[in-house]
Amino acid sequence: MLQSIRNMLNQPDPNNSFWSDSELLEYINEGVRIYFAELTNIDEGHFVTTASLNITSGSRTIALPSDFFKVKVLYRVDGNDRIPLNYRNNLTGGFSTDGNTSGSGYLPDYYFQGNNLVLVDTPNFTEASGLFMEYVQFPETMLNGSDQLTAQISPVFRQVVERYATYMAKLKESLTNGAVIPPSLTQNLADVVQQFRDIIAIRSKNPTYVTPFNP
């Protein structure tokens, strides 16, 4: 991604360039944050992955994956069944420190504490992969500071981030030495952003049927 941006700026050599690699990476990550927020708000499954979590006797907290951004759904695994659990952000109520001893029927509520999942009530049994979670993960570039993106993204996401970073680099140049931002670059960014928004809005071609309300 970094080299693609350098090629668009016509300065492929970082040793002979107006922009350093670290500066361009800042623009890349800024673009990722902006358009990642749009993707998650659309809620069409972009950046969604899964994880199994262990239940440990006497522990209400479970460490979340390092790339965790937000949960879509948390299930209690009961044999071949997965039962969705309720998010409970009301901390005024009490909870039990003595959970179900057998594990059968244990359907706790949950909330978050830092990068931990907190179960309400406390289990007093241990069960490997007792919970199954679908969650939105942070893009790879936001985790390691490089210009690598999570693999399962739409190609247009990469394109819109590259165009954004290129535009910001030219904006910096215009503010520093009065260089003119080409109108074609501004228009190209606008076109790619619109294409990005059109493509991410609906990921399924399956028709949706709505039953009319008929009181």
What is the separation of C-alpha 151 from the centre of its chain, rounded to a whole number of angstroms?
13
pLDDT at 7: 94
What tens digit of pLDDT does each residue of 175-211 get? 999 889 999 999 999 999 999 998 888 777 676 666 6
pLDDT at 209: 63
pLDDT at 140: 76
This model's pTM is above 0.85: no
Buried b (16+ CB within 10 A) or exposed e, 61-87: ebebeebbbebeebbbbeeeeeeebee
What tens digit of pLDDT does each residue of 99-113 get? 655 667 889 999 999
Average pLDDT, the chain: 87
pLDDT at 215: 59
Backbone phi, psi, residue 63, to 5°: -65, 135
How does residue 156 score in pLDDT terms, banded at 50, 70 and 90?
A: confident
Averaged pLDDT for residues 148-162: 81
Backbone phi, psi, residue 176, to 5°: -85, -45
pLDDT at 146 over 70: no
pLDDT at 101: 56
Q: Where are the alpha helices (DSSP H) in the chain?
A: 2-9, 21-42, 140-144, 155-177, 183-201
Q: Is the dihedral of CA 115, 118, 122, 125 positive or negative?
A: negative
% the chain with pLDDT above 70: 85
- Asked if omega into 121 is within 30° of 0 (cis), the reply is yes
Averaged pLDDT for residues 111-133: 93
Diameter over CA atoms, the chain: 72
pLDDT at 161: 92
Q: What share of the chain is helix, strand, coil (3-state, %, to 5)?
A: 35, 20, 40
Averaged pLDDT for residues 55-59: 93
Contact present, 49 and 132 (Cβ < 8 Å):
no
What tens digit of pLDDT does each residue of 64-93 get? 999 999 999 999 998 889 999 999 887 666
Tokens 């890349």 appear where?
Answer: 28
How does residue 159 score in pLDDT terms, banded at 50, 70 and 90?
A: very high
Residue type at 110 in one-letter notation: Y
